[in-house]
Structure 1
Amino acid sequence: MAVSSNQKTGFHARSNSFPSRPNPIITQLDEHLCRSRTSEGASTSSSLGGKLSSLQDLHDCVNKLLLLPLTQQAIAQENNGKWVDELLDGSLQVLDLCNTAKDALLQTKECVYELQSILRRKGCREVGLTSEVKKYLTWRKIVNKAIHKALKGMQNKDNFSTSNGDHETTTIFNMIKEVEVVSLKELHSLLSFISGPKAKTTGWSLVSKLVHHKKVAYADEETDINEFSKVDAALLALVDQNTSRSDKIKGVQSHLESLELCIQDLESGLECLFRNLIKNRVSLLNILNHY
């Protein structure tokens, strides 16, 4: 969910052109937004954790901004207007995407726990292990389908109306809008990370391809793939009946442990962010209902 250079420049110019001594909360929010514009780069579990923390800071500033009388008056004056509709729509989109990410992590975590339990019980001796691996990969396919549906629904959602309001009102609304755009972009990156580069073929189709590809193992292990993709690749190697399983069992268990830790970190960040998002939406609705 990229933000165009015109949008970035426009938001930055307006926020910097605020009165010479703006409220400290507005200054703090602008500083967080400036940092978010420079936080590009490859997505890793650690970088995504940092981005989730940054989003929490952004939305914490937004909540403080919504408590300012100036902000409340500006929103109340625009009540029933296109700007307010866009803010409400944008906050709901961010909440929906955050909830999709939470659900995806929860479902994957449950599958990981079940697979870990089965591996401990069955080891590499029982044929039934293959069906359990297929079950995990099928669940991954279901999760990825939900992710792709959510991401598709976010396309072309970063265009906003222009304003005829006064300078202060324009600045406040545009800063909140940019926070929503940044949030959608970062959550988009997180969901793409969860689905992994193999999302389009994960599931039964990948399992069936194993019959024709004996060398699916750890060739990608040293490359820049994430914890979700490493588990997928290791499981595909595990169900290759033509090679020994004992070493692969250890490798799968190691990857599952890494994925479990990754999910725990991301879940913690998402839960804090989700609470902030709920708080901000409630504050926004309270302003509209009481002014």
Structure 2
Amino acid sequence: MASFSPKPTKRYNVRSISMPTRSHPTTVRIEEELNKLKSWEATSTSSNCSKADSLCKGLSGLKDLYSCIEELLHLPLTQKALSLHQNEKWVEELLDGSVKYLDVCGNTRDIILTMKESVRELESAVRRRMVGDSSVQDSVVAYVSFRKKMKKEVVKVLATLKQMDHKNEVFPLDLDNHLAAVVRVLREGSLITSSIFQSLLLFLSTPVSKPRASRWSLVSVLVQKGVLACENSQHKTMNGMECVDIAISNLFVDNASEDVEPEKIESAQRKLEILDESIEGLEDGLDGLFRLLIHTRVSFLNILSH
């Protein structure tokens, strides 16, 4: 199985070109949106907000970017220039990229939807534990199993993104100023899109320890490290799923007793609710982006069919 760096590779090495003295206003707006996203990417790891909140901002920035790209593709000047080069390899790559990012977004959205269902089932089980039902273990087993399966799906999507990145290295020569600017911003847009999706997928694939044979060890990964509370200041950088792992683990620290402190149950419930809200935000961001990627794909097809 392919292995991936814990941080997405940042690659904006598209060949430099001479911009026209007066770029089209739409191209300028795309440049501004790209700069915002690059700034977001540079500061996202040091942001005070949660990783999920940061990723929601990244997805929101991508939606703004693709709204501008859609406007750019509707310009008669852009349509004429692209149609004149529709048999070029780099045009085919742009078209191919439009459908592959659509597929990546759709696959990621499917992962998010399944994850939301799994989290809510676990949330319901913990809620039942609060009223004395001790059958939460099966739900925990199912949640851990889902997380492992999800990681395998994420690896496949990441592999697709890595392959797409390698196709954006050669810049076409001898283009007029406007078309050169269009191709450049589209390719930079592809690279930042790939980078943000990689960040999102790596967040979703937070590793889960291999379960042991003991009764309560299915959720003991972080307990083994002596970590018993996500609220501790030294763990502020943990993402929502790591916090849930800790809170669920805390329910089963004392193997000798079936009694669990109400505070631990409430903490697990709270962490699951926070994670649920984060997933909702990511789902909304992906839904909006998916619609825009469809529009971009259709615009490309309309241009190249004339």
TM bucket, shorter chain: 0.7 to 0.9
State the shift of 1:22 in Å.
2.1
Partner of 2:204: 194
Deviations 1:90-139 (A, max 9, x none): 22232222222212221111112222222223437444211211111111
Corresponding residue for 1:170?
A: 180
- The answer to whether 1:234 aligns with 2:250 is no
TM-score by length of 1: 0.87
For residues 49-103 of structure 1, give each alpha carbon's deviation from its aligned partner in whole angstroms, at most 9, with x where no partner exists. Answer: 1111110111011000100112111221221321112112222232222222212
Structure 2 residue 296 is the aligned partner of structure 1 residue 280 = yes
Unaligned runs of 5+ in 1: none
2:228 maps to 1:217: yes
CA distance in 2, matches of 1:33, 1:257: 33
1:109 counterpart = 2:125: no
Aligned residues of 1:210 and 1:216 also touching (Cα < 8 A)? no
Unaligned regions of 5+ residues in structure 2, if any? 1-7
| C-alpha separation in 2, matches of 1:210 and 1:50 | 32
Q: 2:122 touches 2:143 (CA, 8 Å); kept in 1?
A: yes
Change (3 A) 1:82 1:139: same
Q: Alpha-carbon deviation of 1:252?
A: 0.6
Tell whether the 8 Å contact from 2:140 to 2:219 is kept in structure 1 after alignment: no
Q: Per-residue deviation at 1:37?
A: 2.2
1:163 alignment partner AA: P
Match of 2:274 among 258, 261, 265: 258
Picking from 72, 78, 102, the partner of 1:95 is: 102
1:20 equivalent in alignment to 2:24:
no
Q: How far off is 1:258 after superposition? A: 0.5
Give secondary structure in 2 for the equivalent of 1:136: helix
> Which position in structure 2 is the counterpart of 1:85?
92
Pair 152,207 (structure 1): closer, same or farther in 2 beyond 3 Å? farther
1:54 pairs, out of 61, 68, 71, with 61
2:35 corresponds to = 34
Distance 1:89 1:203 in 2: 38
In structure 2, the residue matched to 1:140 is: 147
Contact 1:130–1:239 at 8 Å: present in 2 too? Answer: no
CA distance in 1, matches of 2:124, 2:12: 49
Partner of 1:245: 260
| Change in CA separation of 1:27 and 1:139 when aligned onto 2, cut-off 3 Å | same
1:63 corresponds in structure 2 to 70
Deviates more, 1:166-175 or 1:48-57: 166-175
How many residues were matched structurally?
281
Structure 1 position 203, deviation (Å): 5.8
Of residues 114-123 and 173-182 in structure 1, the stretch that sits farther from structure 2 once superposed is: 114-123
Q: Once the two structures are aligned, what percentage of the paired residues are identical?
A: 33
Seen in structure 2, the aligned counterparts of structure 1 residues 203 and 141 have a Cα distance that, compared at 3 Å, is: farther
Distance 1:210 1:162 in 2: 50
Taking the aligned partners of 1:18 and 1:177, their CA distance within structure 2 comes to: 15
Q: 2:127 is aligned with what amino acid?
A: R
Q: 146-155 or 249-258: which moved more?
A: 146-155
Query: In 1, Cα distance between the equivalents of 2:172 and 2:225?
Result: 60
* TM-score using structure 2 length: 0.83
